[in-house]
Amino acid sequence: MRRILAILGAVLCIAAAADPAERLPDPAQEARARAIFQEVRCLVCQNESIDDSQAELAADLRKLVRDEIKAGRSDQQVRAYLVSRYGEFVLLKPAFSLGNAVLWGAPFAVVGLGVLLLLGNLRRRRVVEQDDLSPEEAKRIAGLAGEGEE
């Protein structure tokens, strides 16, 4: 029974894989291409890699990656080519850059600024509440307190 399930699983994996005519003849190159497929975003599906996507654009991107690898480009050169052509959004895990740091850090900076403004506002309120009364205010309060006792 396990053997039948294993064979069925293998057949389904082969059926789900790309058309054999699209594959590179060199298994090492095909393995490199498949690794890059997992890192590249399908621009139609947006949250799927081109390896998982069935969109036509994903198939075009897979062909483009295979062509670049077949031409002898390194993995880094293939990624750089895709980024230059489609922008950094094409990568599922974009490289760290100042622009990305600003995007990730901006919400924390805004929250931090809000907290600082809130603390400053609370501190100003305490200072106003703790100010000493002027002699006129003290005399007036004493007069009001004396009226209430009668």
What whole-number distance in Å separates Cα of residue 54 and Cα of residue 50? 8
Q: Which residues contact 97 (CB under 8 A, 6 or more apart)?
A: 88
**pTM, 2 dp:** 0.56
Is the Cβ–Cβ distance between 26 and 70 less than 8 Å? no
Class of domain 2-90: mainly alpha
Outline which parts of the chain fall under CATH 1.10.8.640: 2-90
Across-strand partners of 41? Answer: 49
Q: What's the confidence (pLDDT) of residue 78? A: 92
Q: What's the confidence (pLDDT) of residue 16? A: 45
Is the Cβ–Cβ distance between 90 and 43 less than 8 Å? yes
Residue with the bigger pLDDT between 63 and 5: it is 63
Is the Cβ–Cβ distance between 49 and 35 less than 8 Å? no
